[in-house]
Amino acid sequence: MKIKKLKYKKIVLLFFVFLCLIGVRSIIKYTGNKKLIEEEGPLIEKYLKYTYKNITDVKFETVHTNPTGIKHIQGFVNKNPEMEFDAGIYDEHFSAALNWLDDEKSPEIKPEYELKSKTVQEIKKEETEHQK
């Protein structure tokens, strides 16, 4: 009888430890995703407003990692969830890897960037040159 109680207590304890580990992992993942959005969000917003017409608002929703290990931030523009984008974070920071989940509902690209858009680094460089 004592052996069954001891096994039951071990199982309950292991289950409790397992739940705690899942909780800690979720908290770490959430704070990591929040930090990524805080760091990369302004770069994505700068790129969107510079490259596309009539971008008034950018909202970031989720972060996911694709099978190759690249992090992606998903969100939408102009308070319209149908205008959803996916921005890939390659290398250290967001540069220009952005896709619209529905091309028909994406905002209009500015004519000067139809063939080739500028990276965030090029945009920043241009802005600093104009400030001089």
- Tell me what pLDDT residue 79 has: 93
Q: What is the pLDDT of residue 58?
A: 95
Structure-block tokens of residue 60: 């970031």
Q: How far apart are CA 101 and CA 52, in angstroms?
A: 15
pLDDT values of the chain reduced to their tens digit, one per residue, 132 residues: 566 666 777 776 666 666 656 665 655 555 667 888 899 999 999 999 999 999 999 999 989 888 988 999 999 999 999 999 999 998 788 888 898 988 888 899 888 888 888 888 888 888 887 776
Q: How far apart are CA 52 and CA 111, in angstroms?
A: 9
- The sheet with strand 80-89 has its strands ordered as 58-65, 71-77, 80-89, 98-100
Mapping DSSP onto H, E and C, the string for 75-86 reads EEECCEEEEEEE
CATH of the domain at 52: 3.10.450.130
pLDDT score recorded for residue 21: 60
What does the DSSP 8-state code read for residue 114? Answer: S
Q: What pLDDT is attached to residue 4?
A: 67
pLDDT at position 93 is: 86
Kindly report the backbone phi and psi dihedral angles of residue 73, in degrees, each rounded to the nearest multiple of 5, phi listed first.
-110, 130
Number of domains, the chain: 1
pLDDT score of 24 = 59
Which range of residues forms the domain containing residue 118?
2-131
Q: Say how far apart CA 26 and CA 32 lie, in whole Å.
A: 10
Task: Give Cβ neighbours of residue 103 (< 8 Å, ≥ 6 apart).
Answer: none
Q: What's the pTM value of the predicted model, to 2 decimals?
A: 0.76
